[in-house]
Amino acid sequence: MKTVTVTLPAKTYQIKIAAGLLTQVGNEVASLWSPRKIALVSDSHVEPLYCEQVETSLIAAGFTVHVYRVRAGEDSKQLGVLSSLYEELLGDDFGRSDGVIALGGGVVGDLAGFLASTYMRGISFIQIPTSLLAQVDSSVGGKTGVDLNTGKNLIGTFYQPDVVLIDPTVLQTLSQRFLVEGYAEIVKMAAISSLDFWHLIENINQPKDILKQAPALIEASVRFKAQIVEADEKEGGLRQILNFGHTLGHAIELLAGGQLAHGEAVSIGMVQITQIFEDRGLTPSGITAQLKKQLLAVGLPISSDLIGSPQFYELLKHDKKNHGDQLTLVYLKELGTADLYPVKLTAIHNFLNL
């Protein structure tokens, strides 16, 4: 088992990575929590695959388990779905000493985390991510949230879990598309973290390589993200570099109306923003080509007709990373080094020139 410890001013917790860890969930949770009610939140894709196994393990460890299933997909990150989950917790007499476990991808983690952080002003929370995207990114760092029509994750909290349990073997049930989607976030991590990490992903030449290298890719991603979160838990400065590709990507994702997965939109966003900064001489020549090569090798998209439309620029104005009249863009000073570049919203159209 690989263990990464996240040490923050108010809390320390571990991220555990091991094949077969899903079979040990009950023992892992019992080492942290006393017997209590657990809301096991999952979605319509993951619940039939893994909920029974996890529920049985938790019951054997002395917990009372209530399974709550939401519809798979970004549409579940809505206030209406959240409200229904609050009512279910109340109906099952959940109190402040009980807990929530997220079993699923990033949508489930964000939704269940926000549920735990706000129900009775906060109850215990554990992440068990089952998608590559969630394992390498969204399950780590404590961000929770739901969407509004005008943007993603506009309502949310920072709420750290008590533990993150990652079992790479569950990736075998992911479709190739969603395995590849998660890899986009790994490329993002490698591009902004170090040349050593970038050289690691250069071994990925086709989708099946992602599964073969998954444990190493997950560990490298998690270790880097943990360092960033420790340095800047609430995204006041350094943590903003994790948004590389996301500013343009979130807008594209919303405009696509469900036709683009999150990682696919981020892939497009990384390439487009890097080309813009390369054209301006702020990113060294050739880096966009290296990004494209890595992303295209597994079939990720690198462009979209949605970029540059009036609706696209309107969504940028509502990006949650805006500070006053400025939008902070993330760019590569070189492979393995990212920096922030603030642009006034009134100048964003001319700056991007899309």
**Which position among 47, 152, 188, 243 bears the catalytic label?**
243
Catalytic, 253? Answer no
250 tagged catalytic = yes
47, 181, 185, 219: the catalytic one is 185
Q: Please count the CA atoms within 13 angstroms of the CA of 221 that sit on its side-chain side.
A: 28
143 catalytic per annotation: yes
The residue from 250, 253, 264, 292 that is catalytic is: 250
Whole-angstrom Cα distance, residue 170 to residue 55?
Answer: 16
Q: What is the DSSP letter of 173?
A: G
Catalytic residue status for 52:
no
**In whole angstroms, what is the distance from residue 155 CA to residue 114 CA?**
9
Q: Distance between CA atoms of 153 and 131, rounded to whole angstroms?
A: 19
The active-site residue, picked from 77, 152, 225, 292, is 225
Annotation says 235 is catalytic: yes
DSSP at 343: E
- Catalytic: which of 77, 143, 188, 292? 143
Which residues are within 8 A (CB) of 271 and not within 5 positions of it... i.e. 6 or more apart? Answer: 245, 288, 291, 292, 295, 302, 303
Whether residue 246 contacts residue 240, with contact meaning beta carbons closer than 8 Å, is answered with no
Q: In whole angstroms, what is the distance from residue 282 CA to residue 208 CA? A: 35
Query: Which pLDDT does position 109 carry in this prediction?
Result: 98
Q: Give me the tens of pLDDT residue by residue for the chain, a chain 354 residues long.
A: 999 999 999 999 999 999 999 999 999 999 999 999 999 999 999 999 999 999 999 999 999 999 999 999 999 999 999 999 999 999 999 999 999 999 999 999 999 999 999 999 999 999 999 999 999 999 999 999 999 988 888 899 999 999 999 999 999 999 999 999 999 999 999 999 999 999 999 999 999 999 999 999 999 999 999 999 999 999 889 999 999 999 999 999 999 998 999 999 999 999 999 999 999 999 999 999 999 999 999 999 999 999 999 999 989 987 777 777 899 999 999 999 999 999 999 899 899 987
Residue length of the chain:
354
Burial 341-353 (b: 16+ CB within 10 A, else e): eebeeeebeeebe
* Listed residue (63, 30, 69, 35) closest to 50, CA to CA: 69
Q: Which of 16, 37, 152, 239 is catalytic?
A: 239
Instruction: Indicate which residue of 37, 45, 152, 262 is catalytic.
Output: 262
Q: For residue 56, what are the CA distances in angstroms to 88, 310, 328? A: 21, 51, 46
Respond yes or no: is residue 246 known to be catalytic: yes
349 is an active site residue? no
Find the catalytic residue in 47, 219, 233, 235.
235
Alpha helix segments (H runs only) across the chain? 25-30, 52-60, 79-91, 106-118, 132-133, 176-193, 195-201, 207-212, 214-231, 246-255, 262-279, 287-296, 310-317, 348-352
DSSP secondary structure of 231-255: H-TT-SSGGGGGGTTHHHHHHHHHH
Question: Contact at 8 Å (CB) between 133 and 170?
Answer: no
On the CB side of 320, CA atoms within 13 Å amount to 21
* pLDDT number for residue 17: 98
16 noted as active-site residue: no
Q: What is residue 160's DSSP assignment?
A: -
Q: Is 66 an annotated catalytic residue?
A: no
Which pLDDT score, from 0 to 100, does residue 323 have?
77
Amino acid at position 113, single letter: G
Check: CB of residue 156 under 8 Å from CB of residue 110.
yes
* 37 annotated active-site: no
